Amino acid sequence: MCKPIRDYLNLTRDYTREIITFGGLCLMCVVYSDFKQLAQTQASTAAHTVEVLRSMDARLSNLEQHTLR
């Protein structure tokens, strides 16, 4: 019963670098996808903010024109 466990532990000891590399690549993919989602969210928020500021500028310009008359 201990022989398969010992063989498994020897295998993990022999391929430690490969296992860590594969884990690092998986972690990099997860971080990249999370960063990509964050960047898309920030871009849409920035576009919405610009649209709100443009509408406020138009309304303010309209009010200034009415007060100057």
Q: First and final CA of the chain: distance in angstroms?
A: 95
User: In this structure, what DSSP letter does residue 69 have?
Assistant: -
pLDDT by residue (tens digit) across 6-18? 888 888 899 999 9
pTM: 0.57
| pLDDT interval class at 3 (50, 70, 90) | confident
Is the distance from CB of 11 to CB of 4 less than 8 angstroms? no
Q: Has residue 1 got a pLDDT over 70? A: no
